Amino acid sequence: MSQNVVVIGGGPAGIEASRRLRDLGYTPILVEKQPVLGGHLARWDRLFPDGVEARTVLGPMLQDLDGIKYFTDTEISSINRLKDTWVVMLSNGLSAQVRAILLTTGFDLFKAEKKEEYGYGIYERVITNADLEDWFKAGAAPQFDHVHTIGFVHCVGSRDEKAGNRQCSKVCCVTAVKQACEFKEKYPDVTVYCFYMDLRMFGRKFEDLYLKAQKDYGIRFVRGRVSEVSEDLDGHLFVKAEDTLFGKPMKIKMDLLVLMAGMAPAAGTSDLARMTNISVGDDGFFVPSSIVDAPCSSSREGIFFAGTATGPKTIPETLSEAAAAAMAIDRYLKTPAKR
Amino acid sequence: MIDFGYGLTPSATLKIENVQNPLFEELHRREPDVAKCIACGSCTASCSAGVFTEMSLRRVILSLQRGREKETLPMLRHCMLCGKCLLVCPRGINTRHLILSIGKVYGPDGLKEEADR
Ligand SMILES: Cc1cc2nc3c(=O)[nH]c(=O)nc-3n(C[C@H](O)[C@H](O)[C@H](O)COP(=O)(O)OP(=O)(O)OC[C@H]3O[C@@H](n4cnc5c(N)ncnc54)[C@H](O)[C@@H]3O)c2cc1C
Ligand code: SF4
Ligand code: SF4
Ligand code: SF4
């Protein structure tokens, strides 16, 4: 009988690692707390930088789950060390005794309502990047029909000591530019602003997308962080920022504001860390044993990571890390257990 | 010397390598957070004084870092110490405290316009 490996979190990282482990001859037990597999990828419409449809990435992954035992709507009740194994109890009453556990619990979208000065949850016309993906996915959105001016606010709940998230979430600059272009494509007459502090277009073809946004779509980039948002009686938004390159404060009337909510640690991170006796960083994400050359190993034997559970990453980065984690687990399991 | 008929005009470039700045060093010692500013402009955008005056804390901080404080410090006289900037700074700088420290380090004269000194 093939050896079991427990994989916690059924997003891109967990699914991809499970497929790889299966291909290496193991039986992955994939545990997902939500009713469906797919993680955040299941919520996105089109992906940066080329606009590939998210379902064309996730679909084939979900078609290829033979040999993987997966449980949705299921959480981890407890994890205990027993000699050189881990005993994992699931909320559905099942349990597994394994030598290796892979943590692929991903991230939580930053709760934008925490930044009260931006008015998410207070003003109807303030939405998040994830809400906009929902709307793109749904196709028609009557809310957009009378929109003249729309703004994208970068770094919402990222790079923000007050919000308790100091890190850069990495994917939101390019997501903002992607969404700005998509919006302009659907509604060419709309004026689109991006309010940024730094534009982090780090990946291949990201800079091209930025160039296209400027040249072909006429997106107006303003270097200044939005400081506050208010609403008038007609429901228009007034957005305050400083145009730091010009050196003057400004107040712009908008019909819609999209907050680029960043990546925060997944809610269960600290519970799982406590159960397995591993550490989380001061940013709240799991800490790998080396951020340079051992991103998938933890400080404890038999506990591994992949994907955004150890910090913001793109999908291709997440998928390669999932493959690397499967290799690391395979190597570990082929080494005889120390007594 | 041959007179070519040109006067000497001061260079328009920023001589950052020449910045010798004991006052800024002193400010940095008292208020290490002054170096954390990322020039996002949130303070300026939310500033109660900024609507009617030139007040921009972002510009003040930058000019201090560049040793060109004379160009912006007089702005601080418009500051009402209301602390709104403190609420919005993403780097968590205690801007109100910083403004008070700037006043202490650069002294009352530092905040005056050139002509009034
Ligand atoms: C607005 C936005 C747009 C993006 N667009 C793109 C894009 O266009 N292209 C791109 O490359 N990247 C994009 N990304 C990044 C992409 O979403 C991530 O790289 C990817 O989702 C990471 O996969 P993951 O498996 O690590 O985490 P997740 O997708 O977060 O999946 C984690 C899974 O684990 C589950 N889980 C969490 N905790 C537990 C627990 N305790 N027990 C059981 N299950 C648990 C969750 O329910 C979830 O299903 C975007 C991100 C954001 C925020
Ligand atoms: S990627 Fe861009 S928007 Fe996102 S946190 Fe980093 S700088 Fe801000
Ligand atoms: S404390 Fe001074 S600089 Fe800050 S917002 Fe108030 S008036 Fe402006
Ligand atoms: S809000 Fe803070 S970081 Fe931003 S410009 Fe002002 S002092 Fe600098």
The label of the residue with tokens 């500013």 reads: B37
What integer pLDDT is reported at residue A15 of this predicted model?
Answer: 98
pLDDT digits (tens, 9 = 90+) for B58-99: 999 999 988 888 889 999 999 999 999 999 999 999 999 999
What integer pLDDT is reported at residue B18 of this predicted model?
Answer: 67
CB contact under 8 A, A227 and B51: no
> What's chain A's average pLDDT?
96
The label of the residue with tokens 């919520």 reads: A43
What integer pLDDT is reported at residue B1 of this predicted model?
Answer: 61
What integer pLDDT is reported at residue B51 of this predicted model?
Answer: 82
Phi, psi torsion values for B51, nearest 5 degrees: -70, -40
CB contact under 8 A, A241 and B41: yes
What integer pLDDT is reported at residue B14 of this predicted model?
Answer: 80
Task: Kindly state the DSSP code that residue A88 receives in the 8-state scheme.
Answer: E
Spell out which residues of chain A touch residue B89, defining contact as CB-CB under 8 Å: 162
What integer pLDDT is reported at residue B111 of this predicted model?
Answer: 77
Q: Residue A143: pLDDT band by 50, 70, 90 thresholds? A: confident
Task: Please give the distance, rounded to the nearest whole angstrom, from the Cα atom of residue B62 to the centre of ligand 4.
Answer: 10
Nearest CA-CA distance, residue B82 and chain A, Å: 16
What integer pLDDT is reported at residue B11 of this predicted model?
Answer: 74
Whether A265 lines ligand 1, by a CB cut-off of 6 Å, is: no
What integer pLDDT is reported at residue A172 of this predicted model?
Answer: 98
Phi-psi region of A7 (alpha: psi -120 to 50; beta: other; left: phi over 0): beta
The mean pLDDT of A52-68, rounded to a whole number, is: 98
Specify the range with the lowest mean pLDDT, choosing from A122-131, A135-144, A277-286, B96-105: A135-144
The mean pLDDT of A151-173, rounded to a whole number, is: 96
The pLDDT of residue A339 is above 60: no
Label residues A235-257 b or e (16+ Cβ within 10 Å = b).
eebebbbbbbeeeebeebebbbb
The token pair that represents A201 in the structure block: 């277009």
Q: Does B90 touch chain A (CB under 8 A)?
A: yes
Q: Report DSSP letters for chain B, one per residue.
A: ----S-------S--GGG---HHHHHHHHH-GGGGG-----HHHHH-TTTTTS---HHHHHHHHHTT-GGGTGGGGGG-----HHHHH-TT---HHHHHHHHHHHHHHHHTS-GGG-
Cα distance between residue A335 and residue A265, in whole Å: 32
Cα distance between residue A42 and residue A330, in whole Å: 28
Instruction: Enumerate domains of chain A plus CATH numbers.
Output: 4-106+266-333 (3.50.50.60), 110-262 (3.50.50.60)
What integer pLDDT is reported at residue B115 of this predicted model?
Answer: 66
pLDDT digits (tens, 9 = 90+) for A183-238: 999 999 999 999 999 999 999 999 999 999 999 999 999 999 999 999 999 889 99
Specify the range with the lowest mean pLDDT, choosing from A97-101, A112-116, A258-262, B109-113: B109-113
What integer pLDDT is reported at residue A2 of this predicted model?
Answer: 85
- Contact at 8 Å (CB) between A158 and A266? no
The token pair that represents A169 in the structure block: 């979430």
Q: What is the CA radius of gyration of chain A?
A: 22
What integer pLDDT is reported at residue B35 of this predicted model?
Answer: 93
CB contact under 8 A, A226 and B45: yes
Q: Does B43 touch chain A (CB under 8 A)?
A: yes
Higher pLDDT, B52 or B40: B40
Hey, where are the domains in chain B?
A: 22-105
Cα distance between residue A49 and residue A29, in whole Å: 33
Closest by CA position to B55, among listed B68, B73, B42, B40:
B73
Q: Residue A338: pLDDT band by 50, 70, 90 thresholds? A: low
